[in-house]
Amino acid sequence: MNPQALIELTNTRMPFGKYKDRFLCDLPEPYLVWFHQKGFPPGKLGTQLAAIYEIKINGLEYLLKPLKQ
């Protein structure tokens, strides 16, 4: 994965819903599991949410903390 894409992923905020304005990397895992079951939104946001989901279920979120601005 592109390092710049990881930095962007880490510093993107949720644009809507219960967790609006929260960093995607700070979204709770159950919320991401719900999206995974219902379907991620189309486009870039959906791709980012799917990536955060995979990072979290594999216990790799510690890799994103140094990238958070």
Q: What is the pLDDT along the chain (69 residues), one digit of tens a residue?
A: 678 888 999 999 999 999 999 999 999 999 999 999 999 999 999 999 999 999 999 999 898 888 887
User: What are the residue ranges spanned by the domains of the chain?
Assistant: 3-67
Contact 32, 23 (CB under 8 A): no
pLDDT at 32: 97
